[in-house]
Amino acid sequence: MKNLKTIISVLFSIIFLMSSGIPENLEKKVDREVKDVFEIDSYKFEKVDVSEEIKSKIPSRIDDENFYRINSKGKVKGYVYVDKAPSKTADFDYLVIFDNNLKIVRTKVLIYREEYGGEIGSHRWLSQFTGKSGEDSLDDIAAISGATISVRSMTNAVKDILKTMKILQIKKVI
């Protein structure tokens, strides 16, 4: 019986390891950005419980693995969101970090996988999203020649997460 307990606990920890957290290949990059933007050395990611009903009403895809509250020393610093968006022939991974006023403080293209369109990783271009919140329009985001599709895709992704954050705020989830 003791064996069974061990096995069950091992099993649970395996399941836990697999189901929690941002994909391993992105984790380090996300960690670096969170520490950099809030100027903190340690923090915890806390799951945000979003009901199925709300999930069906928001434009962004939120699951247990891509949206977290950032807690540092008992204080809520902000929120982090990681997802994929399409480029012309592949997907890229991106990150959006919000402060506790739900304003964007950082966007980053974590992995870009295609020949064309990688210009959207430019810090200068991404900085256009900084400071935006649910109230703001993104119609003034500049285009990039030779990266039209990825520019549109990233802008739409940010639009969606801004709308999502607003809904979550109204529904008092965050």
Partner 1 sequence: MKKVTLTLILGFVSALSFSQTTNDSIIHDSQIQQNSAQRVISAKDGNAVTLGAYGEIVYNQPEGDNGKLDVHRLVLLLGYQFNDKVQFFSEIEVEHVEEIFVEQAFVNYNVANNLNLRAGLMLVPMGIINEYHEPTTFNGVERPGMDRSIIPTTWREIGVGLSGRINSASLSYQAYVFNGFKSTNADGTGLIGGSNGLRGGRQKGIKSTVNKPNFSAKVDYYGILGLRMGLSGYVGRTQADDEIDHLQGADVGLSMVGLDARYVFNRFTARGQFIYASLTDTEAYNDLTGKDLGSALSGWYAEAAYNLLPQDKEQKLDLFARYENYDTHADTDGTLVANDSYNRDELTMGLSYHIAPGVVLKGDYQFLDNAAAGNDVKKQLNFGVGVWF
Is 59 a residue that touches partner 1 (CB under 8 A)? no
Cα 91 to the center of its chain, rounded Å? 15
Interface with partner 1: number of residues (CB under 8 A) = 32
Is 11 a residue that touches partner 1 (CB under 8 A)? yes
The answer to whether 132 and 64 have CB atoms below 8 angstroms apart is no
Closer to partner 1 at the Cβ: 152 or 171? 152
Closer to partner 1 at the Cβ: 70 or 147? 147
Can you give the length of the chain in residues? 174
For the bound state, the minimum distance from the C-beta of residue 14 to partner 1, rounded and expressed in Å, comes to: 7
Binding residue for partner 1, selected from 14, 32, 36, 47, defined by CB under 8 A: 14
Segment 75-134, which members bind partner 1 (CB under 8 A)? 89-91, 109, 111, 113, 115-116, 118-119, 121-125, 128
Q: How far is Cα 116 from Cα 64, in angstroms, rounded to an integer?
A: 31
For the bound state, the minimum distance from the C-beta of residue 146 to partner 1, rounded and expressed in Å, comes to: 6
Residue with tokens 């607003």: 166
How many C-beta neighbours within 10 Å does residue 145 have? 7
DSSP 58-122: -SS---TTTEEEEEETTEEEEEEEEEEEE-SSSEEEEEEEEETTS-EEEEEEEE--SSS-GGGG-
Residues that bind partner 1 (CB under 8 A): 1, 3-4, 7-8, 11, 14, 18, 25, 89-91, 109, 111, 113, 115-116, 118-119, 121-125, 128, 142-146, 148-149
